[in-house]
Structures are given as C-alpha cells and as structure tokens.
Copies of this chain bind each other. A is one copy, B any other.
Amino acid sequence: MDRKALMESVQAQMSSRRWYHTEGVMSTAADLVKRYGGDPEQAELAVILHDVAKQWPVEKMAEAIREEGEYLEVLDHDKELWHAYAGAYAARRDYGITDPQVLDAIRFHTSGRPGMSHLEKIVWLADLIEPGRSFPLVSDIRELAEQSLEKAILAGLDTTILFLIEKGKRIYPLTLLARNNLILKEAEA
C-alpha cells in the first residue's frame, strides 16, 4: 500500500478531528527528526498508524490485545491505553507492517516504557505536543522539546502522572518505569 492509500485507509477509520490530530503529530514528528535525527519515513509510518484503533469499539480493541496475547496486563488498566496496543496489532495484521521498531513506537506511544528507542521517543513526544494540544503545561514542554528530547519526555511523563493523581486514577506501571528510567539515564549522562 502506498503512502496515499495508507493515509486514506487510516483516515477512514476515524473522525476528521482525530485525523487532524494525526496530521499535527506528523508535522511535529518531522520537526523532531530534523532536530534529533532518525529515519523520517519510519517515523511518518508509525505516526500515520499510531491512532488507527483509537475510535474502534472498546470490545474490538480488547479482542486485538487478547489475540496479540503479549500485553494482556493493559486490559486491567485504563481503556485510554488500549488503542495503542490494538493499533500495533492493526498495523501488523491490516497493513502488513513488520518493522518491530515501528510496531513498538505505535504500541508504546501512550504508556511509554523504560528504554524507549529513539523512534519511540519521537512518536511519544510528537503525540503529546502537536499543535492541536492545549493542556496547561504544553507550551513549557514544547520549549523543552527544542533543547532535549529526554527532558521534554520527562516533563510530559510528570504531567501525565500529575494529571492521573489529580483525577484519582491509577497510573500504568510502564509509565512510571519510563520516568524512572529517564531520570536514571539523565543522572548517568
């Protein structure tokens, strides 16, 4: 499937607002690749597909995660996380993506994880700060993103955790481990 057909097929599975978000992430990820390096085509592919399952019915997401079989623990956590794991499944099964780096960048684009690859970092951060986002600290994180990928992600993870605490919601352990891991690496650097 060429780029245009892929984009049309993904776009057909979501609202125009959600697709508009994906376009924002594409542009931000391209900027981050220019600044920090990486393969622009690989990043673009992961970004086009990152939210492909976002508007699937919840039961369809759960089925995809169960069929993958490897990340079942996410089913015990917030449904907000499911679309990323279901998205990796869709990328592989429906779009024939085999590049494990692209699949992981889709899979961990919401939760994060310790030891994220460069591509995973680009997609995670671009998703958080694309121009359509408007949460309280987004401008601070955008500024940090011009200095350091890792510092910006750390600030983003902090914001995510603070938000969940404020809402009294559980925090996905991988998200915490992602934060711990970045702090440790920054301290070692």
Contacts and interface: CB of A to CB of B under 8 A. Distances in A.
A184 interface: yes
Q: How many protomers of this protein does the assembly include?
A: 2
A3 B29 CA distance: 65
Contact of A183 (B170, B173, B179): B170
A172 to B, nearest CB: 9
A158 interface: yes
A177 interface: yes
Contacts of A171: 176, 179-180
Contacts of A161: 161, 165
A171 B158 CA distance: 11
A115 to B, nearest CB: 15
Nearest to A76: B184
Nearest to A162: B165
Interface size, A (range): 10 to 19
Contacts of A133: none
Contact of A170 (B162, B165, B169, B179): B179
Nearest to A181: B170
Nearest to A168: B183
Interface in A135-155: none
Contacts of A179: 170-171
Nearest to A158: B165
Nearest to A171: B176
Nearest to A180: B170
A72 to B, nearest CB: 16
19 contacts: A158-B165, A161-B161, A161-B165, A162-B162, A162-B165, A168-B183, A169-B183, A170-B179, A170-B180, A170-B183, A170-B184, A171-B176, A171-B179, A171-B180, A173-B173, A173-B176, A173-B177, A173-B180, A176-B176
